[in-house]
C-alpha cells in the first residue's frame, strides 16, 4: 500500500515535470497536437465515408459505430500517452546503457520505463473519443446506464491490456537482438478493435480474443452499454484479461531483468 | 567498526560471447551454428572495504573494473562468489540496497536530460524520500562546495561536462548514501573542474564518512584521494595496497626532463651527466630515467643543474598506465608455458581463460 502511494505520487511528479518541459516549446507542442488530431480525424472520416454508402454495417447502426469507434480512442489514447518509451527501449535503454541507471534507483524498473516519458499530444485522442462517445450516446436510445458508468474504468483496463501486450513485446529485446521486432504488425492490429468484432471471420475473432486480446480493450467494453447481451461473458471478463496480461508482462520483465543481470545486455 | 562496509569473496563473472564469422557466408553459417566463447571478466576477486575508506579501483581497459562495479552496485549478478555490502546482497536486495548507495558514471548522467537540474533534484528527493529540511540543508552544502546553485535552473543538456559532473555528484549524494561508487568521475574534465571534483570528494568523504570506491584512469585522482589502490588486470587483483608501494615495487622510476639553453653543439642523441645518460626527446630537451632503488632523485638533479645549462626542469613519475603495463608484462611472463606453479586454463587462479564450445 505504501509502495502504491509512493508510486502514485512519483507518477504525478514525473508527469508534471515532463509536461513542464514539453510545454516550454509551445509552438512545437501545438503542432504535435494538431498533427495528432488530423490523424484521428482522417481515420474517423473513413468511417463516416463508409456509412454515407451503407447505413448499416452487419447489423450495427451508424451511431453505434461512432460510439464504438469513439470508445476505442480512449484506451488507445491512454496507451499512446504512455507507450513512448516502449518503442525506444531497445535502442535508448539497452544499447545506450540507460537501463543501468534504471536499476540503480529504488523504484520499480517497469514503472520507470513506462513513466519517464509521455506522448502528451495523444491526450487529444482521449478527448476526441470522449466527445464522440457522448455525441453518439445522445443519439442512441435505451443505453444501459451501468454499461455507460463502467466505460471509463473499462477504458483503463483496455489501456492496461495494450500496455501489457506491448510491454511483453518490448521485453523480447532482452533476448532478441532484432530491433524492428514484432511491435509494428501488432500495432496495426489495434485498428481492428475500432469495428464490431462480428464483421471479421473466425480466425481474426479468435486472435483478438486470445493471444492478442485487443477485442477486450476496445470492442467488448462497449457491448454492455449498447445492450448486446450475447457478449456479456466477454464484457465481464475484461478486468480479468487485463490483470492476467499485466501479470504476464510483469513476470516476463522480471525474467528479462534477470537475464540482463547475467549478461549485461 | 569490525564489520566491513563491503565484503567481496571469490567474485567471478563470465560472459558468453558469440563469435561471428565474417561476410555473408559467415552470417548464414551463424544462423545454424554459432561458436560460443566464454570470457572471464572477473576472476576470483576478493577484498574488503572498511567504512569511511576511499579506495581506487584501477586497471587497463577491459580489465574487469566496470564489471566488478556493476556487480557491487547490483546491476549484474555474478557467476559465482559473494558480495555483502551494507549487510545486503546487492543484486538480490536491489531496491533496498540502492536506497543507501550513490553511483556516478562519468560517461553518463543520471539526471533527466530535458528538464532543469533543480527538477531532477526534486524527483530524486521524492524517490529517496529526503525531507524538505534535509534537502534544503544539503543543497546549501552542494552550493558551497560545488557551486551548483546557478546551474539549477538550466536543463542538463545545456551544461558543460564539468558542470554536469558537479550536478551528478551532488545528485548522487542527495540521499547521503553510506557507500558511493564513482566510475571515472573526472573523465573529460579540465584541470580546474578536476580539482573541484576532487576537493569535493575529499570533503564529502570527511563530512559524511562515506565509503568511496573510485575507478579511474587518472593517477592524480588516486594520488589525491586514495590511500589504497586495488589494481585489477584480466579479471584478477594484482595489487591491493598503497599507491606508493605499488610504484616502488613495480616501477621505481623518476623521470627528470630538462630543457637546455644553449642547445648542446651537434644536437646529440645522448648526453652524459656524471654516470647517467640523458636521452634526447626533442631539440634541446632531454630526459634521464632514474632507478630509485639505486640513487636518490635529488642527487641526480644536483648534478644535472651543476653540469648543464638548464633552462627549465621537471620531475615526473610513471603514470598509472605505465605501471599497469609493466605489471601486466610481468604478469604475462609469469603465465607463459613452463612458468612455475601456474596451471594452464580452467583452474581457478588462472588468468582470463577462454574455453570454446559449440552451441
Per-residue pLDDT tens digits for A62-85: 889 899 999 999 999 999 999 888
pLDDT of B80 reads 95
**Is residue B236 one of the residues assigned to a domain?**
yes
The helix or strand, by DSSP H or E, that contains position A61, with its residue range, turns out to be strand A60-61
Averaged over B287-312, what is the pLDDT? 92
User: Going along chain B, which residue ranges are E strands?
Assistant: 6-19, 35-49, 54-58, 80-85, 101-105, 179-183, 211-215, 228-233, 236-241, 253-260, 270-273, 276-282, 285-291, 310-316, 354-358
**Is residue B25 one of the residues assigned to a domain?**
no
- Provide the CATH number for the domain around residue B205: 3.40.50.300
Sequential DSSP letters for B276-321:
EEEEEEETTEEEEEEETTTS-HHHHHHHHHHHS-EEEEEEE---HH
My answer on whether B203 and B296 are in the same domain is no
Give the Å distances, CA to CA, from B154 to A21, A212, B113.
Answer: 11, 44, 10
**Is residue B338 one of the residues assigned to a domain?**
yes
My answer on whether B73 and B152 are in the same domain is yes
Full residue range of the structural domain in which residue B276 is found: 253-316
In the Cβ-directed half-sphere of A181, how many Cα atoms lie within 13 Å?
A: 23
pLDDT of A133 reads 95
Averaged over A145-152, what is the pLDDT? 94
- Of residues B101, B108, B127, nearest to A10 (C-beta): B127
Residue B187 CA to residue B166 CA, distance in Å, equals: 12
Q: Which of B248, B277, B305 is the last residue of a domain?
A: B248
Q: Which of A23, A93, A100, A177 to mutate to test the interface with B (most CBs of B within 10 A)?
A: A100
pLDDT of B341 reads 39
Chain B CA closest to residue A265? B76
My answer on whether B226 and B127 are in the same domain is yes
Q: Which of B227, B248, B269 is the last residue of a domain?
A: B248
Q: Chain-wide mean pLDDT for chain A?
A: 88
Chain B CA closest to residue A260? B76
pLDDT of A246 reads 96
Asked whether the beta carbons of B67 and B76 are under 8 A apart, the reply is yes
**Is residue B280 one of the residues assigned to a domain?**
yes
In the Cβ-directed half-sphere of A27, how many Cα atoms lie within 13 Å?
A: 0
pLDDT of A185 reads 80
Q: What is the ipTM of this complex?
A: 0.81
pLDDT exceeds cutoff 50 at B216: yes
Q: Chain-wide mean pLDDT for chain B?
A: 84
Q: Is there a contact between A106 and B114 if contact means CB atoms under 8 Å apart?
A: no
Asked whether the beta carbons of A212 and A206 are under 8 A apart, the reply is no
Q: Which of B37, B77, B106, B121 to mutate to test the interface with A (most CBs of A within 10 A)?
A: B77
Q: At a CB cut-off of 8 Å and minimum separation 6, what does B169 contact?
A: B104, B146, B185, B197, B200, B201
Q: Give the count of beta carbons closer than 10 Å to the beta carbon of residue A222.
A: 26
pLDDT exceeds cutoff 50 at B346: no
My answer on whether B145 and B291 are in the same domain is no
Residue A17 CA to residue A120 CA, distance in Å, equals: 12
Q: What percent of chain B has pLDDT over 70?
A: 88
pLDDT exceeds cutoff 80 at B96: yes
**Is residue B15 one of the residues assigned to a domain?**
no
Q: What percent of chain B has pLDDT over 90?
A: 46
Q: What is the CA radius of gyration of chain A?
A: 19
Q: Which of B91, B92, B126, B157 to mutate to test the interface with A (most CBs of A within 10 A)?
A: B126
Q: Give the count of beta carbons closer than 10 Å to the beta carbon of residue A12.
A: 12
**Is residue B116 one of the residues assigned to a domain?**
yes
β-pair type (B211-215, B54-58): parallel
Q: What are phi and psi of A236, to 5 degrees?
A: -75, -15
Domain count, chain B: 3
CB contacts, 8 Å: B110 with chain A: 101, 104
Work out whether the CA dihedral B66, B71, B73, B77 comes out positive or negative. Answer: positive
Full residue range of the structural domain in which residue A53 is found: 2-263
B55-59, B132-136, B332-336: least confidently modelled range: B332-336
Q: Is B69 exposed, middle or buried (0-12, 13-18, 19+ CB in 10 A)?
A: buried
My answer on whether B214 and B112 are in the same domain is yes
pLDDT of B351 reads 37
Domain count, chain A: 1
My answer on whether B238 and B289 are in the same domain is no
**Is residue B115 one of the residues assigned to a domain?**
yes
Averaged over B319-324, what is the pLDDT? 72
**Is residue B285 one of the residues assigned to a domain?**
yes
Confidence of residue B335 (pLDDT cuts 50, 70, 90): low
Residue B71 CA to residue B263 CA, distance in Å, equals: 56
pLDDT of B204 reads 85
At B141 the three-state DSSP class reads helix
pLDDT of B358 reads 34
My answer on whether B272 and B174 are in the same domain is no
Q: How many CB pairs under 8 A join A and B?
A: 65
Q: Which of B218, B248, B278 is the last residue of a domain?
A: B248
Amino acid at each position: 500500500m505504501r509502495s502504491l502511494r509512493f508510486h502514485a505520487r512519483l507518477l504525478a511528479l514525473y508527469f508534471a515535470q515532463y509536461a513542464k518541459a514539453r510545454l516550454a516549446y509551445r509552438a512545437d507542442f501545438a503542432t504535435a497536437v494538431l498533427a495528432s488530431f488530423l490523424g484521428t480525424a482522417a481515420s474517423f472520416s473513413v468511417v463516416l465515408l463508409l456509412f454515407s454508402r451503407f447505413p448499416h454495417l452487419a447489423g450495427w447502426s451508424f451511431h453505434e459505430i461512432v460510439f464504438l469507434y469513439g470508445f476505442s480512442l480512449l484506451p488507445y489514447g491512454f496507451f499512446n500517452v504512455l507507450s513512448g518509451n516502449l518503442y525506444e527501449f531497445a535502442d535508448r535503454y539497452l544499447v545506450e546503457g540507460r537501463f543501468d541507471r534504471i536499476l540503480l534507483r529504488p523504484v520499480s524498473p517497469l514503472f520507470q520505463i513506462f513513466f519517464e516519458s509521455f506522448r502528451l499530444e495523444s491526450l487529444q485522442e482521449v478527448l476526441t473519443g470522449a466527445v464522440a462517445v457522448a455525441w453518439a450516446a445522445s443519439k442512441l436510445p435505451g443505453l444501459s446506464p451501468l454499461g455507460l458508468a463502467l466505460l471509463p474504468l473499462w477504458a483503463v483496463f483496455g489501456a492496461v491490456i495494450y500496455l501489457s501486450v506491448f510491454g511483453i513485446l518490448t521485453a523480447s529485446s532482452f533476448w532478441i537482438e532484432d530491433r524492428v521486432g514484432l511491435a509494428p504488425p501488432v500495432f496495426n492490429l489495434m485498428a481492428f478493435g475500432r469495428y464490431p468484432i462480428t464483421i471479421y471471420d473466425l480466425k481474426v475473432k479468435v486472435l483478438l480474443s486470445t493471444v492478442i486480446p485487443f477485442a477486450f480493450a476496445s470492442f467488448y467494453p462497449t457491448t454492455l452499454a449498447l445492450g448486446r447481451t450475447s457478449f456479456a461473458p466477454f464484457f465481464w471478463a475484461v478486468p480479468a484479461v487485463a490483470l492476467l496480461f499485466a501479470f504476464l508482462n510483469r513476470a516476463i520483465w522480471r525474467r528479462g531483468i534477470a537475464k540482463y543481470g547475467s549478461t549485461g545486455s | 567498526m569490525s564489520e566491513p562496509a563491503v565484503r567481496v569473496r571469490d567474485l567471478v563473472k563470465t560472459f558468453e560471447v558469440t563469435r561471428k564469422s565474417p561476410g555473408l557466408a559467415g552470417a548464414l553459417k551463424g544462423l545454424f551454428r554459432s561458436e560460443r566463447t566464454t570470457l572471464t571478466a572477473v576472476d576470483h576477486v576478493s577484498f574488503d572495504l572498511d567504512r569511511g575508506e576511499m579506495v581506487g579501483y584501477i586497471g587497463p581497459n577491459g580489465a574487469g573494473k566496470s564489471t566488478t562495479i556493476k556487480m557491487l552496485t547490483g546491476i549484474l549478478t555474478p557467476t559465482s562468489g559473494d558480495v555483502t555490502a551494507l549487510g545486503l546482497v546487492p543484486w538480490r536486495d536491489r531496491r533496498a540496497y540502492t536506497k543507501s548507495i550513490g553511483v556516478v558514471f562519468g560517461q553518463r548522467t543520471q539526471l533527466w536530460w530535458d528538464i532543469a537540474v533543480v527538477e531532477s533534484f526534486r524527483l530524486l528527493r521524492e524517490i529517496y524520500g529526503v525531507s524538505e529540511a534535509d534537502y534544503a540543508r544539503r543543497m546549501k552544502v552542494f552550493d558551497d562546495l560545488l557551486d551548483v546553485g546557478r546551474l539549477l535552473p538550466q536543463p542538463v543538456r545545456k551544461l558543460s561536462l564539468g558542470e554536469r559532473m558537479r550536478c551528478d555528484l551532488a545528485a548522487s549524494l542527495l540521499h547521503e548514501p553510506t557507500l558511493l561508487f564513482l566510475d571515472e568521475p573526472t573523465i573529460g574534465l579540465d584541470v580546474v573542474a578536476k580539482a573541484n571534483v576532487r576537493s569535493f570528494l575529499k570533503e564529502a568523504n570527511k563530512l559524511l564518512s562515506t565509503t568511496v570506491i573510485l575507478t579511474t584512469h587518472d593517477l592524480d585522482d588516486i594520488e589525491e584521494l586514495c590511500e589504497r589502490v586495488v589494481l585489477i588486470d584480466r579479471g584478477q587483483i594484482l595489487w591491493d595496497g598503497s599507491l606508493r608501494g605499488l610504484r616502488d615495487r613495480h616501477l621505481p622510476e623518476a623521470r627528470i626532463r630538462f630543457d637546455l639553453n644553449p642547445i648542446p653543439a651537434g644536437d646529440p642523441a645522448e648526453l652524459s651527466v656524471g654516470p647517467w645518460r640523458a636521452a634526447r626527446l626533442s631539440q634541446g630537451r632531454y630526459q634521464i630515467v632514474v632507478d630509485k632503488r639505486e640513487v636518490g632523485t635529488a642527487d641526480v638533479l644536483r648534478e644535472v643543474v651543476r653540469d648543464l645549462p638548464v633552462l627549465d626542469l621537471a620531475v615526473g613519475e610513471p603514470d598509472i598506465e605505465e605501471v599497469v603495463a609493466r605489471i601486466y608484462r610481468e604478469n604475462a611472463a609469469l603465465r607463459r608455458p613452463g612458468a612455475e606453479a601456474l596451471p594452464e586454463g580452467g583452474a581457478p587462479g588462472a588468468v582470463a581463460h577462454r574455453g570454446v564450445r559449440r552451441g
